[in-house]
């Protein structure tokens, strides 16, 4: 566990850190919150809670370090603790089962799905977004963090509290599931065109 060094910010410095280092990430944070909850009100609440928490614990944030990863971690934890529990929808996936299964040889399987670059480029509507939203939350999350927000595996491991190897295997599986979904869409598009 990393040792937390308490920062001694003046009130003015706190505000400066908040506005200069935290607020610039609000669009990414909102997008992440919306893709976790699929509800505008919940996304608003989640982002607001996250920013208030970040401000409350600003003394544990070291100025100039990775604010975005820190904020994403708080948001992810708030989502798990406050929102996922409230959700009426039962968890679709038994997490441990998924990890055990996908940490097996299956991970090394290289799927070359029947999906062409040209088909992807023809998806000019909401197909990509819908396919992403159709993934289970844990798979959706790694795609968002990596491909959309550009986090490194090491940062993702810290945000999600999982080992790097698990980040890698979960991402690999998530990409395969996304491609499978997009392959279905491509087939549907093909049927429409004939």
Interface contacts to other proteins, rule CB under 8 A: 11, 14-15, 18, 23, 26-27, 29-31, 34-35, 40, 44, 47-48, 51-52, 55, 108, 110, 112, 115-117, 120-121, 123, 126, 128-129, 132, 143-144, 147-148, 152-153, 168, 172, 175, 178-179, 182
Residue 130 C-beta: closest distance to other proteins, Å? 10
C-alpha to C-alpha distances, 167 to 45, 65, 131, 194, nearest whole angstrom: 27, 22, 20, 40
The residue (of 68 and 179) whose beta carbon lies closer to other proteins is: 179
Residue 122 C-beta: closest distance to other proteins, Å? 11
The residue (of 9 and 98) whose beta carbon lies closer to other proteins is: 9
Residue 47 C-beta: closest distance to other proteins, Å? 6
The residue (of 14 and 84) whose beta carbon lies closer to other proteins is: 14
The residue (of 18 and 137) whose beta carbon lies closer to other proteins is: 18
């Amino acid at each position: 566990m990393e040792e937390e060094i308490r920062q001694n910010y003046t009130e003015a410095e706190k505000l400066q850190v908040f506005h200069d280092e935290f607020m610039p990430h609000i669009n990414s944070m909102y997008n992440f919150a919306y893709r976790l909850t699929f509800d505008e009100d919940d996304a608003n609440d989640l982002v607001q809670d996250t920013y208030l928490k970040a401000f409350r614990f600003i003394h544990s944030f070291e100025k100039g370090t990775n604010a975005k990863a820190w904020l994403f971690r708080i948001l992810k934890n708030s989502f798990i603790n406050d929102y996922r529990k409230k959700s009426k929808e039962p968890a679709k996936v038994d997490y441990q089962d998924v990890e055990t299964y996908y940490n097996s040889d299956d991970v090394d399987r290289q799927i070359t799905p029947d999906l062409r670059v040209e088909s992807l480029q023809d998806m000019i509507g909401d197909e990509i977004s819908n396919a992403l939203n159709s993934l289970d939350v844990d798979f959706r999350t790694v795609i968002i963090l990596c491909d959309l927000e550009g986090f490194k595996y090491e940062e993702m491991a810290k945000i999600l509290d999982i080992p790097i190897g698990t980040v890698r295997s979960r991402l690999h599986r998530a990409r395969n599931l996304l491609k499978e979904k997009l392959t279905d869409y491509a087939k549907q598009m093909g049927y429409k065109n004939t």
